[in-house]
Amino acid sequence: MAGGPEDKRRLILDAAVRVFAREGYHDARVGDISKEAGVAYGLVYHYFTSKEAVLEAVFRETWGLMLTAIRGVEERGGPAPDQLRRVCAIVLRSWRDDPDLVRVLVREVARSPQIQREIDEIEQAFAALERIVERGQEEGTFTRDLSARMVALMLYGALEEILTGWVMSQLPDDDDAVAEAERTIVALFAQGLCR
Amino acid sequence: MAGGPEDKRRLILDAAVRVFAREGYHDARVGDISKEAGVAYGLVYHYFTSKEAVLEAVFRETWGLMLTAIRGVEERGGPAPDQLRRVCAIVLRSWRDDPDLVRVLVREVARSPQIQREIDEIEQAFAALERIVERGQEEGTFTRDLSARMVALMLYGALEEILTGWVMSQLPDDDDAVAEAERTIVALFAQGLCR
DNA sequence: TCGAGTCGATTGACGAGTCAATCGGGCGCC
DNA sequence: GGCGCCCGATTGACTCGTCAATCGACTCGA
């Protein structure tokens, strides 16, 4: 099993993340991926039906993990603002955990023509955020004046833009900055700007 | 002059917006653009050095107008929350004004590998938002606890995500919804969620 | 006559995807 | 235990369609 087929698949997938992060999906050649993985060109097609399928697998597997983590927050329960904070922490910390992966997701998937916004999967992330906001409204912590769906969208956009800022190095991204981003987004969405 | 060269250039540019909106940049053929514009294939290359240059011109000219409008808001002055509201109105209403253009900007430019985030131009939009937030902090309307730059980024992301929601039809986009989006984003950033 | 503006068939590069050949290790049979 | 067969894993040279970009010809007003 140590040399089983799944290993090569993972090898290719991990290599693809590095290559896509380095070159971008469009400029990345399938040959670059096989080379980076140390396998033959054709093997990529043994495990994936196309170059796009490789990107899709990267997205699907990562996104699945993220959704699971978010659902974990929901199940653990607690006050809505706390849940929001924990979700933001998960999303923002992913940058420290695997910058290449975040780079690929932000640049190629978030709004890409390839994988035109795996609507379904991304919708589930919105839905989770929306549920948390709704729960806050029901428990009376959050105002009912704002549409939970729209707030969820804006929260998602704010998080994505912070990650993008890091990917594009428009924003410092040391540990302090990551912690500050967490603090800022929670404070902003909870209390707003006005003093 | 009615048949002067600038006319054909505009013709091509406008056609390109429609074609990119319809097909996406990658799938759009240069021939599609010339056909849509009703000019010969080669003429596209008379006015632009490459297909990518066409997209870039679309971005640059539109973004210029938007920056001018935002600077207009700044110059007109007034309380920071008001300025924020006016900027949001400009951005969000652009969807009603020219959906094709917004579709292209959101899908192809915002995070694209082509025109890799015309860093400079987009930075100026961030900077304008940042200045407005800072002014609010100086006049004492906004809390000084949050980094103006980060807030600017989050605001930008929230706006972009709303537009994206419309582009991807994940969000109703009738006149009422546009008005509600304006109200929601201003209320959220000013007061936050907590009651 | 001149050249700016216009035309569109041609081309040449390029890279995704194919496929036939080879490898290798598990398994049954002697 | 050892031999050899079988089949999936692996290889990489090659094919083949696709466009972006070029370029030489044509038009027409000055």
CB pairs under 8 A between A and B: 167
Distance B115 CA to C10 C1' (A): 29
Tens-binned pLDDT, residue by residue, of chain B (195 aa): 344 556 899 999 999 999 999 999 999 999 999 999 999 999 999 999 999 999 999 999 999 999 999 999 999 989 999 999 999 999 999 999 999 999 999 988 876 666 666 778 999 999 999 999 999 999 999 999 999 999 999 999 999 999 999 999 999 999 999 999 999 999 999 997 776
- Beta strands (DSSP E) in chain A are none
Nearest to B150 among A136, A181, A191 (CB): A181
User: Please, are residues A83 and A73 in contact by the beta-carbon 8 Å criterion?
Assistant: yes
- Determine contact: B174 vs chain A, CB below 8 A: no
- Cα A101 from chain centroid (whole Å): 8
Tell me how far apart the alpha carbons of residues B97 and B102 are, in angstroms, rounded to a whole number: 9
Q: Check B160 against A156: CB less than 8 A apart.
A: no
Residues whose CB falls within 8 Å of the CB of residue A5, separated by 6 or more in sequence, listed in order: none
Nearest chain B residue to A182 by CA distance is B150
**CB-CB under 8 Å, A189 with B147:** no
The verdict on a CB contact (< 8 Å) between A146 and B187 is: yes
DSSP3 helix / strand / coil % (chain A, rounded to 5): 75, 0, 20
B23 token code pair: 């097909």
Please report, in tens digits, the pLDDT of each residue of chain A (195 residues total): 334 446 899 999 999 999 999 999 999 999 999 999 999 999 999 999 999 999 999 999 999 999 999 999 999 989 999 999 999 999 999 999 999 999 999 988 876 666 666 778 999 999 999 999 999 999 999 999 999 999 999 999 999 999 999 999 999 999 999 999 999 999 999 997 775
Residue with tokens 């809505």: A80
Interchain proximity B159–A157, CB inside 8 Å:
yes
Give the burial class of B70: count Cβ atoms within 10 A of its Cβ; 0-12 exposed, 13-18 middle, 19 or more buried: buried
Whole-angstrom Cα distance, residue B157 to residue A153?
A: 10
What is the C-alpha to C-alpha distance for residues A185 and B94, in angstroms, rounded to an integer? 26
Inter-residue contact A184 to B150 (CB < 8 Å)? yes
Other Cβ atoms closer than 10 A to A72: 12
Which position has the token pair 């807030």? B151
A10 CA – D19 C1', rounded, Å: 34
pLDDT > 70 fraction of chain B, expressed in percent and rounded? 93
Residue B7's pLDDT is what?
Answer: 87
DSSP state of A38: T
How distant is C1' of C23 from CA of A37, in Å? 19
Nearest CB neighbour to A150, from listed B111, B155, B181: B181
Q: Looking at CA atoms only, how far is residue B5 from chain A in angstroms?
A: 33
Q: Do A146 and B25 touch (CB under 8 A)?
A: no
- d(CA A74, CA A63) in angstroms, rounded, equals 17
Chain A residues inside the 8 Å CB shell of B104:
none
| 3-class DSSP state of A77 | coil
- pTM above the 0.85 mark? yes
B35-74 pLDDT, tens digit per residue, is: 999 999 999 999 999 999 999 999 999 999 999 999 999 9
CA distance A59 to A108: 9
Looking up tokens 């004004």 gives B97
Q: Which two tokens stand for residue B158?
A: 């929230």
Q: Which helix (H) or strand (E) holds A73?
A: helix A51-76
First to last CA, chain A: 60
CB neighbour list of residue B53: distance below 8 Å, 6 or more residues apart: none
Note which residues in 102-121 of chain A have CB less than 8 A from chain B.
106-108, 110-114, 117, 119
Interatomic CA distance for residues A83 and A91, integer angstroms = 12
